[in-house]
Amino acid sequence: SQTIHQWPATLVQPVGSPLSLECTVEGTSNPNLYWYRQAAGRGLQLLFYSVGIGQISSEVPQNLSASRPQDRQFILSSKKLLLSDSGFYLCARQGVDTIYFGEGSWLTVV
Amino acid sequence: DAKTTQPTSMDCAEGRAANLPCNHSTISGNEYVYWYRQIHSQGPQYIIHGLKNNETNEMASLIITEDRKSSTLILPHATLRDTAVYYCIVRVARSSNTGKLIFGQGTTLQVKP
């Protein structure tokens, strides 16, 4: 089966602290990978996508960055978190004809 | 990718069919209609997609108008567990570069006992 693992599932971080959210994918090679964010009460916003190792495209200017050090690993990072970075972060991968999502990581910046 | 328009919210009685409309008047010839749903605090779940013909799977049916400018997702026998936000998205199925999904606000479906 093709599975998406995200961790941590829940995270509470102080303002100004760093962030690292990890996503790994099983059962597929060279997938397109995506990071989405959902702020409280709002829709899903595409943040980054990657078509291969080291290839990152940013969809919106922001305080976050992404990296893809390995084919099946996608990392979302920040050097200094802002309150506005709070939200539900979802990793996704391209399937044959659609996109599949992980279970998400809840980030609360306090 | 073309933009979609959906009602903000809908109610449905348990056991009845839920019909969720979507307008996509600017859809291109190579764009598919996709439906996802998101149950609270979970990742979006793929439901169904189609290009021109009506489609049916174990979860739902998708009815696409002949001019492809609108579609309807049908949950034939809604249950309380179908309460979720339903997203209608149009995109190229096999994009030459990214295949990314652009989500709108979706329709919040409330299934009531």
pLDDT in tens, A49-89: 999 999 999 988 778 999 999 999 999 999 999 999 999 99
Please give the single-letter amino acid code of residue B100.
Answer: K
Residue B80 phi/psi, 5° resolution?
-60, -30
Among A60, A101, A108, the strongest candidate for a mutation testing the B interface, having the largest count of B CBs within 10 A, is: A101
The nearest CA of chain A is from the CA of B10 a distance in Å of: 17
Cβ atoms < 10 Å from Cβ of B68: 18
Q: Cβ neighbours of residue A61 under 8 Å, at least 6 residues apart?
A: none
Distance CA B55, CA B69 (A): 16
Q: Is A94–B42 a contact, with Cβ atoms under 8 angstroms apart?
A: no
Q: Is B99–A32 a contact, with Cβ atoms under 8 angstroms apart?
A: yes
Specify whether the CB–CB gap between A2 and B46 falls below 8 A. no
What is the side-by-side order of every strand in the sheet holding B61-64?
B18-23, B70-75, B61-64, B55-56
Cβ atoms < 10 Å from Cβ of A45: 16
Distance CA B113, CA B13 (A): 6
Mean pLDDT of B90-109: 76
What local confidence, expressed as pLDDT, does residue B59 receive? Answer: 94
pLDDT band at B80 (very low <50, low <70, confident <90, very high): very high
- For the ranges A68-72, B2-6, B35-39, B52-56, the lowest mean pLDDT is seen at B2-6
pLDDT band at A1 (very low <50, low <70, confident <90, very high): very low
The nearest CA of chain B is from the CA of A15 a distance in Å of: 23
**Any chain B CB within 8 A of the CB of A43?**
yes
pLDDT band at B94 (very low <50, low <70, confident <90, very high): low
Place of tokens 């893809």: A68
pLDDT band at B98 (very low <50, low <70, confident <90, very high): low
Among B35, B41, B57, B98, the strongest candidate for a mutation testing the A interface, having the largest count of A CBs within 10 A, is: B98
**Any chain A CB within 8 A of the CB of B50?**
no
Evaluate if residue B97 carries a pLDDT over 70.
Answer: no
3-state secondary structure of A9: coil
Q: Is B100–A49 a contact, with Cβ atoms under 8 angstroms apart?
A: yes
Q: For the segment B13-23, what is each residue's pLDDT rounded down to a tens digit?
A: 999 999 999 99
Beta bridge partners of A37: A45, A89
Distance CA A109, CA A11 (A): 8
Mean pLDDT of B68-75: 97
